[in-house]
Chains A and B, each alone.
Chain A
Amino acid sequence: MNKKYLLTLLLTAYFATFLRFYINNNFVIYIIGSFLYGFFVSRIISKSKREILLSGFCSCFTSFSAFIHVLYQFIIQGYYLKLFLYLNVIVILNLIIMYIGFQLSRKIT
């Protein structure tokens, strides 16, 4: 692991964190993040670039803890049916979005 690589990774992560902070809407963030992940993952690029884009940008952009926090808020308010629907809809929707990103990336190249 060299210095330049680590610095790029950190800067990408900072950029992703601030972008997440300014959008401030979990639903939009998940959709954009999944799309980009699908888009990048199907491209054949070098391992370090892949690491920076996937592990640095996409992973810092989407956060699982926010997801669990939303579930916690639903449980506190007693919306159990809403919780179940929200959970499954988010995961299925993100899988579809990721598939679209994956295929789109293949079509372009």
Chain B
Amino acid sequence: MEIDGVIYILVGSTFGLILRILINYISVRKKVFSNNILIVNVLASLFLGIFVQLNITNKNLILFFLVGFLGCLSTFSSFIYQLFNLIQKRKYLRLLIYYVEVLVLSFFFFCLGYFITLICIK
């Protein structure tokens, strides 16, 4: 891999990490929304929808946005940990509802980004 690609990934991941920490900070201190991991994942899905619709073939931009920014912004293991935590508390119904909620919401926002970009391009 060339040095350009490395720099693109570094910059992208910095932005992603800072945005995630900022959302985490806001949700803990200001108590605007209770579940920061859901917000982060849904936001990443929205961006992914926009990105997929734009159909970018530039390799550096893919490295910057998909690998760096979205990869660091969204988190899968924290989502699994939330489910794990619900199992430990034996709230099985909450677990099922939360699981479906996350998938439906992220897919809805993915489609939202996808179709909004489609309309904007035309």
Residues of chain A having any CB pair with chain B under 8 Å? 9-10, 13-14, 17-18, 20-21, 30, 33-34, 36-38, 41, 54-56, 58-69, 71-72, 87, 91, 94-95, 98-99, 102
Contacts and interface: CB of A to CB of B under 8 A. Distances in A.
Nearest to A37: B77
Given A62-B75, A64-B76, A72-B110, 10 more contacts: A17-B13, A58-B75, A59-B78, A60-B17, A63-B71, A65-B74, A68-B45, A91-B80, A91-B83, A94-B77
Contact of B74 (A14, A33, A64, A87): A64
Nearest to A9: B17
Interface of B: 9-10, 13-14, 16-17, 20-21, 24, 41, 44-45, 47-48, 52, 66-68, 70-81, 83-84, 87, 99, 103, 106-107, 110
Contact of A20 (B52, B71, B107): B71
17 contacts: A9-B17, A13-B14, A34-B77, A58-B78, A59-B20, A59-B77, A60-B16, A62-B77, A63-B71, A64-B79, A65-B73, A65-B74, A91-B99, A95-B80, A95-B83, A95-B87, A102-B84
B68 A68 contact: no
Nearest to B69: A65
A33 B79 CA distance: 11
Interface secondary structure of A, over-half rule: helix
Contact of A60 (B24, B52, B72, B84): B72
A41 B45 contact: no
A17 B80 contact: no
B110 A13 contact: no
Contacts of A58: 75, 77-78
Nearest to B78: A59
Contact of B9 (A17, A62, A66, A72): A17
B84 to A, nearest CB: 5
Contacts of A13: 13-14, 17, 72
Contact of B81 (A10, A37, A69): A37
